[in-house]
Amino acid sequence: MFHSKITVTLRTSILDPQGKAVEHGIHSLGMTNIEHVRIGKFIEFDVNTEAKEEAERVTMEACRKLLANPVMEDFTFTLEKIQKPVHA
Q: Does 53 bind its own copies (CB under 8 A)?
A: no
User: Residues touching its own copies: how many (CB under 8 A)?
Assistant: 39
Tell me the three state secondary structure of residue 55: helix
How does DSSP classify residue 66? I
- Closest to its own copies by CB, 32 vs 71, is 32
Q: Give the separation between CA 39 and CA 37, rounded to whole angstroms.
A: 7
- Residue in 12, 17, 53, 71 binding its own copies, rule: CB under 8 A: 12
User: CB 84 → its own copies: shortest distance, Å?
Assistant: 11
How does DSSP classify residue 86? S
Q: Does 43 bind its own copies (CB under 8 A)?
A: yes
